[in-house]
Structure 1
Amino acid sequence: PLYLNIKIQEELVEKALLDSKIQISLPESTFEIFFSCNLIPTNTYPNNQLLISEFSILSHYDYRLIGKITSEGNAEGIYYCNRLIEDSFNIPFNIPKKEVLSIESDRLRNINGIKLSETYSIGEFYFDIRIFDRDPESIDKLSKIFNTSGKKETSALLDQIIGLRISKNGFGVKPYGEEDKDWMGLGQMRVQNPTEIIGTNQVIGNIFLFSPQNDALNEKTNREGFFENEAFINFKKALRSIMIQIGKKRHNYREKHNIGRKIKSRNTRPDSSRFLNFIKTLTTDSEAINEAESYLKEITTTLDNLENSLTFSQRLATLGSGLELVYHELAQPISIIGKCLFGLKFSIGQVNNLDLRNDFLTETDQIRKSNETLNSLKSSLEPAIGRSKKAKFKPLDTFNKVLYLLTKDISSNKIDVEIDGKLKEYTLNDHEYNFWISFLNILNNGVYWLQNSSTSERKIIFSLDNDNSLRITNNGPLIDPGELDNIFNYGVTHKQDKKSTGLGLAFTRSLLSTNGWDIYAENSSKGPSFILKQTKT
C-alpha cells in the first residue's frame, strides 16, 4: 500500500486532481527486492541479480477509474477505457454529492432511532479501481500477454489478486479486499442487475485513507475492519455509487461494440411438431413415424424436468441472496446493541433505588443474551456467504455451525449428537462452503427421518474414519439397499413432505465432485451413514 499510495498520488497531481502529495513515508522507507542465483554462471544480470518489479497485470486493465471523493462529498476522477485498442479513450468523471449519498440499490435502514443524515463527514480520500472483463476473449488476451498455459491459469492468476482493498496511512485494513469478503455487497447488487453491476471477481481496487482527514472511520480494536457507524455507511454509499456508474459506462461500451454473447431468446423451445411433420413428408412407414413421436415425447419430458430444476435453482439463488443480505445487515444492529449495553453499565450504576437497579440489570442481561444469540446466528451463516478461497478450517466447527441452525428441531425431537474425539483437532485446507452445504443437507435428512422414527433414543453421530473420511450416521430407518446410490439423483426423494424436491443430496454430490470429493451412503450397524471421502488431493 505504501508504494501504490505514492504512485497514485503522483498520478493524481499530474492530472490536476490533487494539489500536492500527502507525505506518509520518507524516501528511505522504500526498498527493492532482488532475486539471485549462483548455481549457473550468467552474464545476463549485473552482479547476478534480478530486480523484482511490480505485478504488470495492473497495467493491462480493461477499464479504470482513478480519482477522489472530495471533502464536500463529490466524486471527481478520470475514466479510462482500454477494452479495444481501436476505441481506447479517457474522459473526466464527476458525480455530485446528491448522487454519491443516495443510490437506489442501498438497503441500509434507520436503526434504534439513528437517522442517517445527508451530511458528508468522511473527509477527502482517493481511489484507484481497475476492472477486468472475464469473457473468453479478454482472458485469451491476458493469456498471451503473460504467456500462461491457458485460460484456467490466467483466471487463477486474476483470482489471486482481485479485491477492493483499503489502506489507511499506507497500511492495509483487514478484511477488506479478501476474496471471500464481499463487504461492498456487489454480489447482492449483481443478482438484481447482472449486466451493469460489476462482479467481485473483476475488481482490483485500492482505497487510500489518511489521518486526520478520515478519522471518522474508526477501526475496531481487534483489527477486523471499521465500526458500522454513519461515516462507514456513507463511505460504502460513495464507493457503491462509483461502482454503479463505472458499471453503466462499461455496459454501454460493451453494447456499442457488441461484446459478449447475445441470446435472442432464452426460453423458446424447438418446434417438435414441425420436425414431426417434416418426417412424415419423407416416409409413410408407421414404425419410423411412431419411433420419431416417441423420441420427441422423451425430449419434451427431459426439457420439462430441466425447466423444473432451473426454477428450483433460481429459488436457491434468491434464497442465497436473501441470506447474504441478512448476514451483512445483522452486523450493524449487533454492533449498536453492544455499544449501547456498554454505555448502560455505567448509567445503571448511578441508579440509587436498589430494586429498580436490579430490574435494569435483569433486563440488560436478557438483551446481552439476545445479542449473543444474534451474533451466533450470524457466525453460523458465514460459510454460506459466497464461495471462498481454500483455507484451513476444522470440519467440526462447520458441523457445529449447521447444528446451531437446527437447534430447535434437534431439541424438540430429543436427538442426541455424538462427536468423535478425533475430530477435535482434525483440519482441512479446502472450501468450507462445500462442507457447510453438505452437512446442512445430510443433517436435514437425518432430522426428518429421526422425527418420523419410532425409536426412543434418537442419535446423530459425526465421526472420522481411519482413511480420514467424514461420516455422519443417524439411527433412523435404514435406506432401501436398491436406493443407496439412487438418492443422489436429481428429483429422487422418499420423504412424504409435499415440499420435498429431491435436489438437496444431488446438489451436494455435484458440489463435492467438482472439488475433489465424493459422497455415498451405506447402511451401517448403527444406522444409515453418509460418507464424505476425498478423491483428489
Structure 2
Amino acid sequence: MSTKEEIQEQLQKAVSEEPHNINKILKLTNKLASLDEDNVRFSVDAGVIDRLGKELVARHETAVSELIKNSYDADATVATLNFANVDSIGGTLTVEDNGNGMSRNQLVNGFMRISSSDKIHEPVSPVYKRKRAGKKGIGRFSAQRLGDKLTIVTQTSNYKNALKVVVDWNKYAMDEELFLIQNKIIEIPKNKDIVSGTTLIIENLRDWWSEAMIKRVYRYALDVIQPFPISKKKIIDNKIADSGFKIICKKNNNVIANEKSMFFEHALAEIYGYVDDNGHAFWEINNSKLPDVETKKPQIIFDDNDNHAQKYVYLKGIQLKAFYFVFNVNLIPKQIESYIRSATDEQGGIRLYRNGFRVLPYGEKQNDWLGLDESVRKRKVLPVHGNNNFFGFIQIEDKNKNFQELSSREGLFRNEAYDELIDFSYKVLIAAIIRVGRERGVKITTDQKDWDAKYSRNPKEALLDAADDLEKLADDLDEIADSTEDTKDESDNQDDSKNKKKEEQNAKQKEKAKKIRDKAKSIRDAVERIEEFNMLRVLAGLGLIIGEFTHEIMQYLSAFKIDSKFLIDNLKKSTEEYKRAVRLKETFSSFEVYTSYFDETISQNVNRELKPIELRDVIKPFVKSVAPDLKRNNITLETDYKGYDLFTCKMHVSEWSSILFNLYSNAKKAIKRSNKVGKILIKAYKDEEKVYLEFQDNGDGIPAENRDKIFTAFFTTSSPKGHKTNMKNELSGTGLGLKILSDILGSYNGDISLGNEIDDYSTNFIIELPVATDEEINEYGL
C-alpha cells in the first residue's frame, strides 16, 4: 500500500504531466483523502444508483411517466415515445421531445447530479411558466430502472452543436466509488428538424411491455396532458402563452396511445358548428357511436320561435368543434372512463381561440361562460350537457373584427358579437345533444308529451321521471319567490312589516325548493345503484346457498374428527387402514380450515359497511386458510410487506376473499400444468397515491399473444372440456374470474394488470387501489 507521501508525489506528477487525465487525478485524490488521519468524509458506493432506482421507482410504468413529465417541465409541446421489440425483455425505448434541451452546464450539474436543486430554485419552467410536474431528481433513476444503457442527445436553440452522453448503468456496481465512474460527453451535429429538444434512448430494457402497459403510461401522465388543439405561441405581458402538451405512445412505430385513441374515439358524438358568409348557422354530428345519429347534411339553426333561420350579424367565419361524452351508462370502457372523467372534471368545457391563440378564461375550470352548467341545474333540457361532458373549442378568425379583448388581456368585451357567440354555441350543443338523447331513448324535457307511449319505462326510468317532476316543482317555487321579490322592489312605498313578511315567505319558498331538489338528488343517486342492486340480489341468493351449505358442513366436522380419531386409536400402525385413517384426518383438518374461513367471510357480509382495508389483515387469514392445500400440492407461499399502514380506500373485506382465492386458483392450475415445484409470492406496498398487491407464481406463464386478452369476459387459458365433463370442471375455466376481479377493482377506481415477472416467477398480477385518506383512517380509528 502506498504511503501518503508517495501518493502526493504521484498526484503532483499527474497534475503537471497529465493535466487532462482527470480520472487519474481523481483516483489519487480519493486515495489521499482516505489517508487523512485528522478528518473523515462520506463516500458513496456506486451501487446506490441501482438501489435508488428500484426504491424510488418501483414500477416501470411510473418510471416512463416521470420521463414524460421531465419533457413537460422542459416546455415541450409534444413528447413521442417508441417501444421497439418489447414483447420480451431486452427491447429499446426512445423518448423524444421538442423542449428547451439542456446546455452543458444543465446536463452536468443538473441531470448528472444526484439530488440537484434545480427544481427547488426554479419551481416553474422558463418559457411557459409551467409548475414543475416531475418529482425532484427521479428522472435519472427512472432511466436506470428501465434499462441497462442510456443515451442522451440534447440541443438548445443558442448553441451550435448537440451534446451526447452515453451512460452504461452496469458500470455502477457495488464496491466502486460513484464519483470515479466516468461517462463520455461529446458534441455532435444538431437535428435540423427541431430548434431544441432532448432524446433519450434506453436500451436492453429490463421488462417486457404490452399494449395495456403502454396505455397505462399515458394514463399515469394524465395530469400534464392537455387534450385540446395546440394553439400558436402568443406573447402576453412579455410571457409566452402555453400552447399545450401532447403525448404520443408507439410500439414498433405504430401508435398505441394518443389523444385520439385515449380520449376522442370514446366520445359519444363529435359535434361541429359554423356560421356561413350569409350569417346562417349550421350544426352537424360526425362519428357517433350510436346508429342514426350522424347527420346526413348540415342542419340549420332556427330562431327561438322555430319559424325562421337564425341570422347572426357578427359571427361570419366562426367555427365550433366539440367531443361529447356521457358517463356511467356503459358507453366507455370502465378503466378508460375513469381517467377521461377525471380529465373532463379538470379541463372539460368549451375553450375559445382567436386566430389560433387561446383566449382566457373561457373554458377554464368553474368558468361557465356558455351557461351549460346553469342549464343543467335548471333542467329545461334533460340529456346531460354540463361542461364536464365536453372537450371542445371555438375558433374566431382574425378577419372577424367584431370581438375586442379587455385591456387586462383576460376575456372579451360583452358586446353584441359576444352575446351572439354565446347564443350560437349554446344552440349548436343543445341541438346535438337532443338528437343524441332521442336516439338513446332518454327524456328530453320535463314536460315532454307522449314520451311514455314511445318508450316503455322500467322502474329506473320512472324514478328518474319522478326526480324530474320534483326539479320542475322546485323551479316553480323559485319562480314564485323571485316574482314576489320583484313586486316588492317596485313598491317602495309599502311599509317595512309587509316587506319583511314577504321576505319570510320567499325564504320559506326557497327552502322548500332546496329540500325538493335534495330529494330529487337522492332519487337520482339511488337510481345509479339500481343495476348494481340487481346484481347484488343475484349474488346474495348465491351467497345464502353457500352460507347454508357452509353452516351445515360445520355441523358434521366434529363428528368426522371424532370418528377419524377413533379409527387411528384402534387400528394398528402398520396396516393400510391406519394410513388411510391418518390421511382422512388430515383431509378433514384442511376442509375445516377452508370452511371456517368461508364461514367467517360470509358472517362479515352481515355488516355492509365499507371501510379502509389494511392488506395484512386480508392476506394473513387467506394464507392460513390455504396452508393445508399448499402442503398437499407441494407449493410454498411467501409474503413480502414493504412499509406499514397499507390501507386501501373503503372496501368490503369479503371482496378480498374473491380476489385472493381467484388468483390462487389460477396460480395453482398454472403450476400444475408446468409440472414444477410450486412457488407463490404475495407482495404488498404503497406510494403516495396507490396501494399495490402483487400475486406471483412460477407456473407455465401467459403467452405474449394472450397478455391483452386475459381480462376479457369468457377468455380462458384452461384446456377445452369434453362433452362428458362434469359441472365442476365445466365451471372451472369459464374465463369470468379475472373479468369479475377487474370489475370489482374498477368500481373503486382501481386496476388489475399483468406485470413483468421477477426472478424465478413466470406470472405477476398487480393490483392497484387508491390509498386511504387520512380522514378515512381517522374516521374508523385505524
Normalised by the length of structure 1, the TM-score is 0.38
Higher relative contact order (CA 8 A, sep 6+): 1
Query: Looking at CA atoms only, which structure, 1 or 2, has the larger radius of gyration?
Result: 2
